[in-house]
Each structure stands twice: as structure tokens, then as C-alpha cells.
Amino acid sequence: MARALIVLPLLWSLVIAGCRSTPPVKPTPPDYVPPPALPVSKVETVSPDLSPAVSAHLLKLRELRDSGVITEGDYQSRKASLANK
């Protein structure tokens, strides 16, 4: 009986010590990263009173501007020179 009185508290202390262990660390979700913005193309209409050749040239200039080959300033100056013809 005396042996049981020594062993029993020892067993309970081991059980209680096991229950005091720290809980497992939960993985944190990654930070939200928004998707990349889609390129925005500028919508402009071609004047119906322009000749088909000038209209085609303006459309080509828009494609060059939207792809970054020419700047907005280059596009506007070339557009103005075409409109004066």
C-alpha cells in the first residue's frame, strides 16, 4: 500500500505534465496578393469623315501606342498632323 501511495502521485504528475504541453502551432495563411492589373486599352473612335487610308494609319498608330512602341505624345502629334491633311 505504501508503494502505491508513492507510485500513484508520480503517475498523476506525469499525466498532468503531459497535458500541459503547448498546443501545436497552426500554420498561418499566406498574405493576400491581388492579381496583376490587366492592361487598359484606350477606346477612341475614328471620325467617319476621314479617308480609309488615314483611318487605317490612325488604327496602326493606336496599336503602336498601346504596345509601348511610341509614346502618347508621339501618337497625339502624329494624329494631329494626319487630321490636318
pLDDT tens column, 13-72: 666 666 566 777 888 877 888 888 877 666 666 677 778 888 888 889 999 998 999 999
pTM: 0.46
Question: What is the identity of the amino acid at 30?
Answer: P
The burial class, CB within 10 Å (0-12 / 13-18 / 19+), for 67 is: exposed
Q: In which region does residue 72 sit, left (phi positive, over 0), alpha (psi from -120 to 50) or beta (all else)?
A: alpha
